[in-house]
A = this chain, B = another copy of it.
């Protein structure tokens, strides 16, 4: 039914922000729970109780990775669900930024919300957040890092603003709570995701972005946060997310996050070097190239580059013919054929935005293949410019 067009071993994968391959250690950790340890963790007999214990242990390890208490970890069916729970479960007015993931913007739109503009480098201005906060604002949601241009947000500054607002309300006798949620799906494995250091009240993480299983996510919810369940039923996950627990997925996620955390600092340096090397090659060879994002605050994995006047989608396909897999933007948006709201928000003209590629590096990247990818990209872009000039 499906014919492999390019041999996987001959390809260069530069779309780690869209999906990551599960590591062998993760699959090995999950495997027992598919077969011999398949028991429902809510069942009463010892083998099921053992599975429950291992499930709780996995949550404990996830909690340890982010400096949280295990009881504060709510397992979900992925980052989108976590985000929906955080945003729709809080209620009231929401403040968020124009460069958030579709799921944050869509969930915010379900109620009263203010979307704050960003700087051309994609950074949120903390003062703009401050101005947008109303007396009935219950949630501020700002991603740790942008999935498209890789910009890392000044989350600590936003946290101070939320804390100040909380203090102000306390003094004024306004009992409306205000929380800070961050979607750290794109930062985990490269940035510190310790919740206290981030200063957040809720944190979304996605296993599928850290070489773990897909459709497995978590929402960390600080214990004082009042949240309304979005999926009700058997009362699992402290009543905040009903449904039989995904033991295999949770154990896999724990292993994946532990591995990512363990190698984080080294991997960040390695990827930044590879990325910077590519960037240098590309910018030197193609004077038209425009790099987006904040050079000082950018995920080590991300390189967002635009070639004004060139059709980015066409370029994706010509690169693919040569074995290089890249995206024009986030997979969700790209699939709908609409222009990225992130690129619009940072003020790229349509001419520049339409000629954009998001290159995202990761564990499949090495010096040889990033170097080769840069060379192929230069050739393809040059030939496109020649064709269209």
Contacts and interface: CB of A to CB of B under 8 A. Distances in A.
Interface of A: 1-2, 4-6, 8, 11, 15, 18-22, 24, 27, 34-36, 38-40, 42-48, 50, 53-54, 57, 76-81, 83-84, 101-104, 106-107, 109-110, 208, 213-216, 230-236, 242-249, 313, 316-317, 320, 325-328, 331-336
B246 A214 contact: yes
B335 A5 contact: no
A11 B47 contact: yes
27 contacts: A2-B50, A5-B47, A6-B47, A15-B40, A15-B45, A18-B39, A18-B40, A18-B48, A21-B34, A21-B36, A22-B38, A27-B34, A34-B213, A43-B325, A43-B334, A44-B320, A79-B243, A80-B234, A80-B242, A81-B231, A81-B243, A102-B234, A103-B242, A208-B244, A215-B215, A215-B216, A215-B243
Contacts of A35: 21-22, 24, 27
A44 B231 contact: no
Contacts of A333: 234
A304 to B, nearest CB: 16
A301 to B, nearest CB: 15
Given A44-B313, A244-B19, A332 B235 contact: yes
Number of copies of this kind of chain in the complex: 2
A234 B43 contact: no
A27 B27 CA distance: 11
A78 B83 CA distance: 18
Given A77-B215, A249-B215, A335-B42, A233 B83 contact: yes
**From A19, A80, A215, A247, residue with most partner B Cβ within 10 Å:** A215
A78 B249 CA distance: 13
B80 A231 contact: yes
Contacts of A57: 1
Contact of A45 (B40, B216, B316, B335): B316
B231 A102 contact: no
Contacts of A84: 230-233, 242
B77 A233 contact: no
Given A81-B231, A244-B331, 5 more contacts: A44-B328, A44-B334, A80-B232, A110-B232, A215-B243
Contacts of A48: 18-19, 325
Contacts of A83: 233
Contacts of A24: 35
A231 B6 CA distance: 35
Contact of A235 (B20, B213, B336): B336
Contact of A78 (B27, B103, B244): B244
Contacts of A38: 19-22
Contacts of A243: 77-81, 103, 215
Nearest to A9: B36
Contacts of A6: 46-47
B244 A44 contact: no
B242 A47 contact: no
Contacts of A110: 232
**From A50, A213, A242, residue with most partner B Cβ within 10 Å:** A242
Nearest to A325: B45
